[in-house]
Structure 1
């Protein structure tokens, strides 16, 4: 479950077994539904059973493996995947490729979940694209805000280190985002 994306039909059947255990027939009589399944999926902190939505759980476990490919570059799995599927780039930019394995397809299906919650940590900024990568709170400019005119569309953070004016403009853009979304910058 943590490496393969299980088929929707299989997960539905397993969920059905859970439901039948709790609310299935007993001696030709249907059991009473005292509480909804949605309530039973809530966390234990809320005082209920905390059953998992297996499809969501499967996707989260795959995302965890993707995160390991990003963070643990020296692991054997990360080295093998990088050598085979993205030798000249990073996992976030990897393509499906020709004749991909089932595991690789599973990892790529979970990559959007990782991307939705991941941000770059600014260090030297050599691989971080200013407009493409998520390194500020809201990376997609709204229609009312225009991108900074000084920077190229594929500019990296390190390529603009020397220009104080550029960084001042980026800071103003971030402040504008914060004001729009009600965040402190």
Structure 2
């Protein structure tokens, strides 16, 4: 899963095994699933069980290998693969598919969109980061806030291209494409194009800039509005009791326990009376 994109059928089969294990199902027999799979895969802090679907877990793991290809020049496997398929490209551009690429390289290339969403450049000499299409100044690329379409030939220009050694930023070249507020933000940003330090990619979704598969998985997961606060859900999963008790409490809060009225609703029984007092009240 760290080096190859699994087929959709394999991901579905693995998820099916997970569901059967969780709910006690057997091959060839249907079993009762009190909670739908879409909720099971939601993080615990949002009211789910934090069971990672195989497809998203695979994508997050592949993104880790892709991140190393884009940032780690020292590892032997990185140097071999970059030398064979990278064609002297830099940064995230190295992950582009080329004719004759291996299946592993093509699998890594599928992570490009995720990495672009979560990474940014620390500007040193401005000679690696692309001024318009890379994230380096704001939370989004500058071409996404441009007041008019950026010419195609400008998109490959690096940050250092718009810096004059004596006068600073070439505002006159940018004024036609960026608004006044954005230009002010650029003017407030200073760097040293003469330094030997190169621009470096950082993972913008963590405080220390390090890539983690956990955060990558969260970035892939669709945003949800939890029914209760994260503090409430975390308090359940932090209880010092056996895991089955925590699961029981979680299901009780979600009203998903297989009580007799739920079993009758699902046509698993015809009697929803209390087994202790035999009253005709739903329990």
What TM-score does the superposition give when structure 2 sets the normalisation length? 0.53
1:164-179 correspondence to structure 2 within 5 Å: 164=168, 166=170, 172=180, 174=182
Task: Give runs of ≥4 in structure 1 deviating > 6 Å.
Answer: none
Q: Give CA deviations for 1:68-126 in whole Å, capped at 9, x if unaligned.
A: 11221111121111111123212522332222111111111122211221111111101
More helix by share: 1
Q: Deviations over 1:137-173 (max 9, x none)?
A: 2223357x13799x95443211222243535956835
State the 1:45 CA deviation: 3.6
List gaps (5 residues or longer) in structure 1: 178-185
CA RMSD of aligned residues (A): 3.2
Aligned length: 174
Cα distance between partner residues in 1 of 2:79 and 2:130: 24
Structure 2 residue 72 is the aligned partner of structure 1 residue 64:
no
Aligned equivalent of 1:141, options 139, 144, 159: 144
Q: Normalised by the size of structure 1, how large is the TM-score?
A: 0.77
8 Å Cα contact 2:5/2:58 also seen in 1: yes
Relative to structure 1, the CA distance from residue 36 to residue 153 in structure 2 (aligned partners, 3 Å threshold; closer, same or farther) is closer
More divergent stretch after superposition (76-85 vs 46-55): 46-55
Sort the Cα spacing of 1:172 and 1:74 in 2 relative to 1 into closer, same or farther, 3 A. Answer: farther
Conservation of the 8 A alpha-carbon contact between 1:8 and 1:55: yes
C-alpha contact 1:82 1:91 (8 A) present in aligned 2: no
